[in-house]
Amino acid sequence: MANSSIPIYILSDSAELPDGKVDDLVHTFTTTSAVQPVAIITFITTRPTRPLSTPQDLVSYHFETKQPNTPVSPILALDKRSGEDGTVLFAAPVPPRDEVELSDDDEEEDREGAADDNIMHCRVVAEWVNALAANMATGHQSPDLHVKLRLVLPPALPSHASTTLPCQLFLLEHMKHNAMSTPVLLLRAPTTPPEADRYETALRGAGYCPLSIPVLETVLVNIDELIGILKSGPLRAGVGGVIVTSARAAEAWAKAVEGVSCQDDEDEADWTSTPFYTVGPATADSLSSISSSSCPRLCPKDVRGAAESGTAERLGRFILSELGTSVPGMKLLYLTGDKNRETLPGILKKGGVELVGLQVYATQGAQGFSADLEEALRGISEGACVSSVFHHIWANNKLTLLNGEDTVPWVVFFAPSAAAYIVPILRTRFSLPSSPARSNAESGNGRVVERRAMIAAIGPTTSDFLQTLGLTVEAVPAKPTAEELAQALRAVDPQFKTAADLIADRVLR
């Protein structure tokens, strides 16, 4: 089986660290599998040819004698303490200062005080070794290699491992490709409760960090005209029923009821015996819940079609069967939005029913989208997508991702109507595929950074529209489902590969 060889330097003699103890520790490393579905790490114990008393000595010795197929850093070692508490010494050169940011001067002093001549060192329990080594094997073979492995990690830092700031930064630096899940910005309103959101659940299960951002909002329109119809009553309005095909239309009726002052014309404005035809139980429930202590006769009481009509076509057939011989010349008030199909009007027209249409709501770009997007990006920078294993490190030290190249988010579009509104806004925050590169997003500490993003569309219609806007769509699921979307992203995501993928690509040898 293909694998990567990781040397472990033994710094103590057999009296301080018996061979049997070394074998036990290495057995723990190799049996605590961090990589699924195959084990790819082989640990080779090596005794240095000269005494090494400091982490600086260890790093220098490794640079002088490094073997083929071993990473440059970090470096593993077993010493006397390893035999006592089972921890392993990791040592590596201090990461460049622009790799991490600390929150205040005190933390900065802590970091400097723990480094020995630019060498950072840390002790890690045996259960962590395989996971760290797996990340080393991928992240240090090529400076351009940025991939993620599915790692199995302990739920938190063990209490007997070092938890000093240098150790925490060490772990984040050398496992940063696995510390943070790739964000997926879902351009649609989330389902409530969150655990019922199929898209977020499927993507989270695939190893991503889904964040839903509403891009459209519905506003009520022509309420004054609807109030006039309510005050007139069905007889004066000349309608024998009302068609309501959405919860937003029901909301418009409720809003109009609130706007009526029921006084002298109360007896004439009576809608309680008027049939209200709805599509599905949700809309029926919305209508039935409308109440008013001052104008009870304006509230729908005769709600029909909830169970019998789940589609526009079925509703049309249901209405015709309900009206029967009274169809000729019948007029129905039809409350609509700004985007309507002709299925229902066509069926009723053929059946001899005339519709009196009134648009009562319209869909537009969400006014809060820009602020919601900024909040999501700020959350990512502040650790919203960091694994729970590392989150307490991230939060306690107020770390901020500065390099947008480390983790490139996905942006998933669900409808052409949303794309036209939000693409210009996205272009001010991201360098989108086939769009001019821009450096115009800010991290939490105010520093301007370059953020790239990858584009996915839920279906071919949305994909085609995005291409007319000059965007390159990198993933389109075979079917518009949550599971297919997760599979489509994984299939083309250059940041996310399994151990088997890496072996097939000859990254791991």
Return the pLDDT at 373.
92
Beta-strand relationship, 448-449 and 441-442:
antiparallel
Question: Residue 406: which pLDDT band, with cuts at 50, 70 and 90?
Answer: low
Return the pLDDT at 137.
57
Return the pLDDT at 320.
92
Convert the pLDDT of each residue in 310-368 to its tens digit. Answer: 788 999 999 999 888 666 778 999 999 988 888 899 999 999 999 999 999 998 888 88
Return the pLDDT at 372.
92
Angle at 383 between CA 481 and CA 105, to 5 degrees: 170
Return the higher-pLDDT residue of 21 and 390.
21
Return the pLDDT at 407.
73
Beta-strand relationship, 454-457 and 410-413:
parallel
Q: Could you please report the per-residue DSSP string of 47-66?
A: --SS---SHHHHHHHHHHHP
Q: Could you please report the per-residue DSSP string of 73-134?
A: S-EEEE-HHHHHH-EEEEEEEPPPTTS---SSHHHHHHHHHT-BTTEEEEEEEHHHHHHHHH
| Residue showing tokens 């005494």 | 51
Given phi > 0 = left and psi -120 to 50 = alpha, else beta, which region is 95? beta
Report whether pLDDT(181) > 90: no
What's the rounded Cα separation, in Å, for the pair 226 and 258? Answer: 11
Return the pLDDT at 169.
57
User: What percentage of the chain's residues is helix, strand, coil (to nearest 5)?
Assistant: 40, 20, 40
Identical fold between 177-214+367-386+398-438+447-496 and 219-365 = yes
User: For residue 147, what is the DSSP state?
Assistant: -
Q: Which fold is adopted by the domain 219-365?
A: Rossmann fold (3.40.50)
Question: Is the CATH code 3.40.50.10090 the one for domain 177-214+367-386+398-438+447-496?
Answer: yes
Ordered by start, the domain boundaries in the chain are: 1-95, 177-214+367-386+398-438+447-496, 219-365
Residue 54 sits at φ, ψ, to 5 deg, of -135, 160
Report whether pLDDT(135) > 70: no
> CA dist 196 to 193, 201, 226, 301, Å?
6, 8, 36, 32
Report whether pLDDT(442) > 80: no
What is the mean pLDDT of the segment spanning 70-97? 73
Least confident of 27-41, 189-203, 361-375: 27-41
Convert the pLDDT of each residue in 230-285 to its tens digit. Answer: 999 999 999 999 999 988 999 999 999 999 877 545 455 899 999 999 988 888 99
Report whether pLDDT(206) > 50: yes
Return the pLDDT at 76.
84
Residue pair 150/207 in contact by the 8 Å Cβ criterion: yes
Return the higher-pLDDT residue of 151 and 50.
50
Least confident of 36-50, 74-88, 291-305: 36-50
Beta-strand relationship, 75-78 and 87-93:
antiparallel
Return the pLDDT at 67.
59
Report whether pLDDT(408) > 50: yes
Report whether pLDDT(287) > 80: yes
Provide the mean pLDDT of the chain.
Answer: 75
What's the rounded Cα separation, in Å, for the pair 464 and 246? Answer: 28
What's the rounded Cα separation, in Å, for the pair 108 and 103? Answer: 8
Q: Residue-wise over 108-132: b if at least 16 C-beta within 10 A, else e?
A: eeebeebeeeebbbbbbbbbbbbbb
Residue pair 476/488 in contact by the 8 Å Cβ criterion: yes
Return the pLDDT at 182.
85
Convert the pLDDT of each residue in 98-130 to its tens digit. Answer: 333 333 333 333 333 333 456 767 777 777 677
Residue pair 132/29 in contact by the 8 Å Cβ criterion: no
Return the pLDDT at 109.
34
Report whether pLDDT(501) > 70: no
What's the rounded Cα separation, in Å, for the pair 233 and 441? Answer: 55
Return the pLDDT at 485.
95
Residue 314 sits at φ, ψ, to 5 deg, of -65, -35
Question: Residue 51: which pLDDT band, with cuts at 50, 70 and 90?
Answer: confident
Given phi > 0 = left and psi -120 to 50 = alpha, else beta, which region is 118? left
What is the mean pLDDT of the segment spanning 405-421? 83
Return the pLDDT at 241.
95
Report whether pLDDT(14) > 60: yes
| Residue showing tokens 């309507």 | 340
What is the mean pLDDT of the segment spanning 187-200? 85
Q: Who contacts 32 (Cβ-Cβ below 8 Å, separation ≥6)?
A: 126, 127, 129, 130
What's the rounded Cα separation, in Å, for the pair 199 and 219? Answer: 26
H or E stretch at 302: strand 302-304
